[in-house]
Amino acid sequence: MAGQSTDNERRMVNWSPISALKEAIKAVPAMKYAVAVLGLVAVVAIAATWRVNFKVAVFGAVIILILMVSVLVFARLTALGAGIFLVPAKIFLYTFVILTAGTGVLLLTAAAFKWPPALHELIFGPAPVTPASPSQREWEVRPINLESEDGQTSTISYVWTDIAAIGSEVWLCGAIEWGGGLGQYLGRGILLYSVNGGTLWKEIKRDRFLAGSGTLAVWRETWDNVGPISSMAIYRRMVQNGVFHREGWVATVTGIYSTDDAANGEWKRRTPPPDTTDYAQYSDFANIEAFREIYAVGWQGIAHGTNWGEHWEVQKRTQSYPINGIAVFWGGGDQRNVWAVGRAGLDSLGKTGSDSYGAIYHQDGQTGNWEPVHLPMVKFKPAQALSAVCQIDDETVFVVGQGGLIIKGTKEATDWKWALEDSGTSADLNSLTYDGEKKTLWIVGSRGVILRRDNLGKTWALSHSDTKQNLRRIRLMGNQRWIVGDQIVLRSK
């Protein structure tokens, strides 16, 4: 008993956490697996405490595990006979050396040359957007001061969707409230007009729109006015020598409307009535030869009007998912590229309708058929839609979408090649436009994001707007740029 007591006392004197752990594993061999789990937990705790990037921690842990397995295999091979395992050992050795060398090369090129891009982004994160300094801020918030019929002035704030101008005359459209949904009220639109560059506004009354009232044939939503206005264009049309009309066109939830006098005239619906057809729920349009032809898109799909809106056909019908944007690049005759963007309807994830992810559609100039563009390089997130498209020259197209998505199309011979652009933001990108004179691309989106690219370079710069509002559209009008969005209007200084 005395000897046993002495041994126990000696163990207590020499006790340490490591020796206790060894004794525990000796007594219970399965304890080593618990130690492995605790080791992984410790790695996570260390990464969190020292604020190590978890991508780096995971990447490093994977490499360590590979090396540990390799060491184990080498150790086992050395204990085996030379005859049987000689050839497999050599194969494994050479493979391991090649993989190790290849990994080193890829890590070097990712760090030095940012290639491959996916590995560079995994290790170092996405490329930051170059911020503009306060002295470079080029936007000012424009209050919307509305003059009533009795001369009283008040500042109003709604969802603004588009803006257009001819000289000092400016038009602004949007929605007082935006409704919708099966059997619900569509909401009310608003259209303003200014003669002094947007300093003071007057409302173009909704009863100027010959919209009527009723229930949409497809979606069963009700309306009693023009409804929210999504897009607008004002065109200065010469009707005789020296006489011009300010012709106006708008895309709304109840149809496409136009007028010969955008300041004082009546607005007539050009599309078929929405209570007996599916010509409704429009979000954007584009035209050829001053609206001799019109392409209009929305929840209906893609509609095509001819003879200044006298005749219409639905070229691609959707109804269960929206087409959000459209652009036309026309070189005369059949030399046209017409692009539309929105959702796929049925995607590779098996999602349908408005749950499907984005798609680009292109119209064949000869047949008029709409075909989806193959985009193998884009790994869409679930339900990630595309919002707008712009073709800037014969060989270049840009598309923007949710989650900071920018896709560039380049024409090579007769085919279009597509590539992802690094926007440096995760904001939803809603609209883009191109300043051909200055060769500058502009993009706006949610969270007040404004991006620009000068001289068609490779880097997107962030233009500060001092707002976090959702920006819906950017327009170039003369030597000024205007941006409209939710409760905000911006103008370049």
Percent of the residues in the chain that have a pLDDT greater than 70, as a whole number: 77
CA distances from 176 to 28, 156, 158, 189, 264 (A): 72, 10, 6, 6, 21
The lowest-confidence range among 29-33, 192-196, 375-379, 409-413 is 29-33
Residue 368 has pLDDT above 90, yes or no: no
Q: How does residue 94 score in pLDDT terms, banded at 50, 70 and 90?
A: confident
- The number of angstroms, rounded, from the C-alpha of 90 to the middle of its chain's C-alpha atoms is 50
| Highest mean pLDDT, choosing among 34-43, 85-94, 222-231 | 222-231
pLDDT digits (tens, 9 = 90+) for 48-89: 565 555 555 556 666 666 666 666 666 666 665 555 656 766
Tokens read off for 370: 């709409």
Over residues 230-239, mean pLDDT: 93
Over residues 86-115, mean pLDDT: 73
CA distances from 417 to 22, 331, 395, 410 (A): 62, 21, 10, 5
What DSSP state is assigned to residue 81? -
pLDDT value of residue 253: 97
The residues with which 178 forms a beta bridge, in sequence order, are 187
pLDDT value of residue 220: 94
Q: How does residue 392 score in pLDDT terms, banded at 50, 70 and 90?
A: very high
**Mean of pLDDT over the chain:** 86
Q: Are 423 and 121 within 8 A, CB to CB?
A: no
What residues contact residue 450 under an 8 Å CB cut-off, 6+ apart?
Answer: 139, 442, 443, 444, 462, 463, 464, 465, 471, 474, 483
The more confident residue out of 489 and 72 is: 489
What residues contact residue 229 under an 8 Å CB cut-off, 6+ apart?
Answer: 161, 162, 173, 174, 175, 189, 190, 191, 250, 251, 252
pLDDT value of residue 101: 74
The more confident residue out of 429 and 93 is: 429
Helix (H) or strand (E) holding 215: strand 214-215
